[in-house]
Amino acid sequence: MVLKYRFNGDTLRLLKYELTVKRSFGDDEHDEIIRAVSENEKEELLKQYPEAEVAEIDNTGYEWLDGMIFTQEQLRAGELERAIELGEVEYKRQKQESDPEYRVSVLEEALMELASIVGGE
């Protein structure tokens, strides 16, 4: 399976939907693929293209990458490929051992999730 994603700035977002839109230019007709990262984005696209065919994208096993930050320098150095190759547990373990800033970001992420759980009850 190939990971399907896009970046919003330095933030990796997993693609969740592909919308296929039929386009006609004179006698020439072809399919255009438009991708969405969320249910809301998909719904907004369907308002523009109500005839679009929607398919879910299977990024099973890569959910942990959604929302991670990769700078351009990290991408040039192959950090995303390294993360994919190592997998979630090993990549995070190595990052925690070698990168104090990463440890802080993991703690911040956990605190935000805890706050949303406590605030949502």
Query: Would you state the torsion angle of the CA atoms of residues 64, 66, 69, 73, taken in this order, to the nearest 10 degrees?
Result: 90
> What pLDDT shows up at residue 121?
52
10, 36 contact by CB (below 8 A): no
In whole angstroms, how far apart are CA 55 and each of 3, 6, 19, 115?
15, 17, 6, 33
Q: In this predicted model, what pLDDT tens digit does every residue of 38-58 receive, in sequence order?
A: 999 999 999 999 999 999 999
Question: What residue ranges of the chain have pLDDT lower than 50?
Answer: none
> What pLDDT shows up at residue 9?
95
> What pLDDT shows up at residue 110?
83
- Domain boundaries in the chain? 65-121
> What pLDDT shows up at residue 46?
96
- Nearest partner of 2 among 56, 62, 69, judged by Cα: 62
> What pLDDT shows up at residue 120?
62
> What pLDDT shows up at residue 1?
67
> What pLDDT shows up at residue 113?
85
> What pLDDT shows up at residue 29?
87
Look up the pTM and report it. Answer: 0.73
